[in-house]
Amino acid sequence: MARVGHGDLFRELADAYADAAERIAEADVAYVAGLTDREAIAECVVVGTLLGDKVIAALRRIAQADATARRFETDGRA
């Protein structure tokens, strides 16, 4: 990141990213802890990891669009 002029980007955002990741991890573990069948647990972990990463990325982009609209008070027009 430093080579492209954004060396401080993740250093400044690391705490916020870690907090969000911790909340996600807690939700994941709480869900899996409610399962009793070993096969269901294994399947849930694999599917949750593979699909969950895609869902989290999509939700982040939606949240970024919403935060941008709120921050800059846009009305949907470019």
| Residue 48 CA: distances (Å) to CA of 25, 27, 61 | 11, 11, 19
Same domain, 9 and 27: yes
Same domain, 23 and 51: no
Same domain, 70 and 48: yes
Q: What is the pLDDT of residue 73?
A: 82
Q: What is the pLDDT of residue 6?
A: 76
Q: Which domain holds residue 9?
A: 1-34
Percent of the chain whose pLDDT exceeds 70: 92
**Number of domains the chain contains:** 2
Mean pLDDT over 2-10 rounds to 77
Phi-psi map region of 73: left, alpha, beta (phi>0 left; psi -120 to 50 alpha): left
